Amino acid sequence: MNTMNRVPYDWPNRQISRSVEVAGLAWHVQISGKGPLILLLHGTGSSTHSWAELTPILNKEAQILNLDLPGHAFTLGAPIDSLKLEEIARSLIGLVQELKLPWPTMVVGHSAGAPLALAFAVQAKVKPQIIIGFNPSLIPPPPSYTQFFGPMLGPVTKSATLASILAKIAPMSGMTDRLLDSTNTNLPETNRNYYRRLFTSPDHVRGAMNFMASANISQVLSASSNLPSKLIWVIGESDQWVPEIGLQKIIQQYFAKSTVIHWQGGHIMHEVEAEKSADLILSELRTLKK
C-alpha cells in the first residue's frame, strides 16, 4: 500500500512521509533537513508522532530520519516473530543502506528505542558517535506495568483475533488513557489522541505487544557495554515505568562512563519538553564540530 494512502491526512509531518520497501517490510519514514544524520527511535506502542515537535527544530542543523518501527503504526509487513531487538536492528541497518543516507552520527531512542539504539550500534560497522536515551528501558517493566499488560502478552502476540478485539474495545474501555496516565506525563490532548488512534489498529496492538514481549534486554546490555559511542541517559524523576533506582544500578554496571541527566517529568516527557529535548540533542551534536 502506498504510504500516502495509509498515513492519515492529519498525521504529524505527513508532508515528508515516504514508503520504502526493504526485505519484505514497507517502512513508513520521514526524512528532512541537511547535515549529519540523526536517527530517531520511538518506544513501544508509539510512532513517528512521538518526535513530531522535535523534528522541525532538529532539522535546521541536521538530517533527520524518523520512522515507525516494524509492527508499529504505518510500517507494514513484519512477521510477529521478527520483533526482537537484534532483528529490528539488522532491518534498520538495511533501511539506512537502502536510503543511501550518510551513516547516523547520532541515534536517539525513547524507552524501548534506547536498547534498540544500542543493538543498532553493536551491529553497525560504523558506530554512531553519540547515543541519547530518554527514559531508557534498560530494566524490566515495573509490577504495575506487567500487571496491566501481563495477562495479555502471551495470547495477543499469538492471536490476531484477540488483538482485533482489544483494538475494538480500546476506545470504549479507556485502556489507552489509563496507560498514558500511568506514565506520569501531562500529555496534551492532541498527543493523547494520536495514541488512541494507534491503539484502534489490531496490527499496531499486536506488534507493540510482541515487541515488548520479545525484548531481551540483558543480551543487549552485555553486547553493548564496550561501545565506543558517547552515551547519555535522560531520566525523568517522575517516571514510574522505568524506576530510577533499578536503572541507575544497570547504568553503573554496564555503562559506568556514561552521562546521566535528571529532568522533572514522566515517561513520555520528551513529547512535552520538545524544545528542551531538541536543545540537548543539538548541543551534543555541536560538540562534534569543535
The residue among 180, 152, 186, 154 whose CA lies nearest residue 166 is 152
| pLDDT on residue 171 | 58
68 contact partners, CB below 8 Å, separation of at least 6: 27, 28, 29, 42, 47, 48, 74, 75
The fold of 3-38+60-287 is: Rossmann fold (3.40.50)
pLDDT above 80 for 157:
no
pLDDT above 60 for 3:
no
Question: Is the CA virtual torsion 17, 71, 83, 190 positive or negative?
Answer: positive
- C-alpha distances (whole Å) from 288 to each of 73, 86, 262 are 33, 28, 23
Query: What does the block give as the cell for 68?
Result: 515507525
| 201-246 pLDDT per residue, tens | 888 988 888 888 788 899 999 999 999 999 999 999 999 889 898 9
The residue among 140, 27, 153 whose CA lies nearest residue 80 is 153
| 121-153 pLDDT per residue, tens | 999 999 999 999 999 999 866 554 444 454 444
| 237-281 pLDDT per residue, tens | 999 889 898 999 999 999 999 999 999 999 999 999 999 999 999
pLDDT above 80 for 163:
no
| Sheet containing 230-236: order of strands | 17-22, 25-32, 63-67, 37-41, 106-110, 130-134, 230-236, 259-263
Give the count of beta carbons closer than 10 Å to the beta carbon of residue 46: 25
pLDDT above 90 for 32:
yes
Domains of the chain, by residue range, sit at 3-38+60-287
